[in-house]
A and B are shown apart, each in its own frame.
Chain A
């Protein structure tokens, strides 16, 4: 496991933990993947475990209530967060995310890093700049 897998922290609010337990009773083991981009971007997507095939470019940010939480490493670098907080809010889930019943959805809240040095945490691998031409 590389340093970037263990450095960040992830926590879940009590409401999110209870929601996970309820969903897991119906769907079995779960996983989260942080989305980005158009429309429902910025939302954490909740799937049955294994539904989303993770790749080397995905950081395992942490686990909440036994569920792994992944995020694209370039995106994670751009977020420069000290802590992600998984929570829930009213309104329907985006994309193919659980729950499908429309009453509530997961959200990710951020506690930002102190910004006294380079503004982007680089993890030493240049991930933040990987896709951008020089």
Chain B
């Protein structure tokens, strides 16, 4: 089916002409009155206007968060969990609306937002609602009269800066643990995708207590920096590129606050010859596993953008994969049959084109695609790029740099040692895939690949409960697991003596 675009007759998504910041549970106009136009990448036409905020708006959001933080921190874990569960229920109740808004905002196919982004966002809130209920403090019996109590306490007010590739889901990944642990958040959406998160705010406006969640939209150089440098935040969480990641660490060093960072990857997806030992469902799954480089148009930090295929099966396996790629349906992201939507922005489209050119200059062979895609009709001006496969070797730039588009770099390997060497020959270490029918080999490879998440005989699954984060320059911290609660908590130690006698020093 095809959903009507947001704001048009018959659409499940209502669109206001203009959206303000969400601060203190209310919609607040930006102090300096600036707004910018927010486009859909599907047609390059406006959806609405959003606040073009300034540092003054960040201060207002911080005021609200600080005003709310004590009451929120004092709520019992059961009460906070109830709020998170209610958020999850509200997301579920608005699944179609949010899925269509997210698709139109980012360009990702609605089949993905309906089946993955929005249900996963709801599930993350439920997971952390459960996790915070199950949290226990520890005590240590120092001696018979002395006890060390360890209490988890929230950090206070945290700054969260999220990326454009999964606007709602990345907000959920960051908000759920922060709020569960008793923190208040000032959240800055990515500049290309500010609006769908505001639709989420509409949904939860009367569920989350005022000031606990605050959203400020606008340019990174103005408000991202104002938030990350602000002495009134107790922690900053960021997903994005490496230079901003380093800047955020630098600012955090100056304020002596913790950071969590997720900075991308160039993930290897390794296919051993035994995947073709049978012509069965598993082989079919492995072929799909390679084609998952086109999931979310390749705009995924863990995009399996380097396929390493054992040389003995390369020709036949690649033939099957190219056949599957040729069946990718590209076009209107609001059509549930569409598998590949537009890139998020004109800049991304240009960047992808330039990388494909670099690949060609370096001698990579273009096996399919390689150009912007002409979708036609009302989508003529949309930012579409053909699903592309470049064959080359791992020293090429297209194997070393994150393209953030539907561009696969494919190469071959001879044996397990060769596969491991190529897999680890990257600055990054976020994700990886291993495909084999040999469980021992899968285990060896999975442990030896220097990446925080190695999918074995699967890819692009993001369940709450499985830790996600990077090795090497891919970042610091582990999301989507209860261990993230520690990144949003302090430990208060109460060291108590039950002995009546003095120590005897003085």
Q: Give bound CA distance, A133 to B447, whole Å.
A: 13
Query: Would B361 and A98 count as touching, CB distance under 8 A?
Result: no
Query: Would B190 and A39 count as touching, CB distance under 8 A?
Result: yes
Asked whether any CB of chain A lies closer than 8 Å to the CB of B496, the reply is no
CB < 8 Å: which of B264, B347, B355 contacts A89? B347
Query: Would A38 and B263 count as touching, CB distance under 8 A?
Result: yes
Asked whether any CB of chain B lies closer than 8 Å to the CB of A86, the reply is no
Query: Would B427 and A35 count as touching, CB distance under 8 A?
Result: no
Asked whether any CB of chain A lies closer than 8 Å to the CB of B400, the reply is yes
Identify which of B5-13, B135-143, B287-295, B390-398 touches chain A: B390-398
Query: Would B191 and A41 count as touching, CB distance under 8 A?
Result: no
Query: Would B219 and A100 count as touching, CB distance under 8 A?
Result: yes
Asked whether any CB of chain A lies closer than 8 Å to the CB of B374, the reply is no
Identify which of B66-74, B171-179, B221-229, B276-284 touches chain A: B221-229
Given A119-B395, A132-B425, A133-B450, also A37-B165 (CB < 8 A): no
CB < 8 Å: which of B240, B250, B346 contacts A38? B240
Interface mask (A64-97 → B, CB under 8 Å = 1, otherwise 0): 0000000010110011100000000111111111
Q: Give bound CA distance, A79 to B239, whole Å.
A: 23
Asked whether any CB of chain A lies closer than 8 Å to the CB of B414, the reply is no
Most buried by A among B192, B219, B395: B219
Chain B contact patch, size range: 35 or more
Query: Would B472 and A131 count as touching, CB distance under 8 A?
Result: yes
Q: Give bound CA distance, A120 to B164, whole Å.
A: 32
Query: Would B397 and A80 count as touching, CB distance under 8 A?
Result: yes
Q: Give bound CA distance, A53 to B474, whole Å.
A: 19
Binding site secondary structure of chain A: loop
Query: Would B241 and A39 count as touching, CB distance under 8 A?
Result: yes
Interface mask (A26-43 → B, CB under 8 Å = 1, otherwise 0): 000000011111111111
- Minimal Cβ-Cβ distance residue in A for B396: A119
Query: Would A40 and B241 count as touching, CB distance under 8 A?
Result: yes
Residues of B within 8 A of A15 (CB): none
CB distance from A101 to the nearest CB of B (A): 7
* Interface residue ranges, B against A (CB under 8 Å): 36, 52, 163-165, 190-192, 219-222, 224-225, 228, 239-247, 250, 262-265, 299, 301, 345-347, 350-351, 354-355, 358, 361-363, 393, 395-397, 400-404, 421, 424-428, 450, 472-474
Q: A78-B427, A129-B425 are in contact. List 10 more A-B contacts (CB 8 A).
A: A35-B243, A38-B264, A43-B347, A78-B400, A95-B241, A96-B247, A100-B222, A107-B350, A110-B358, A112-B362
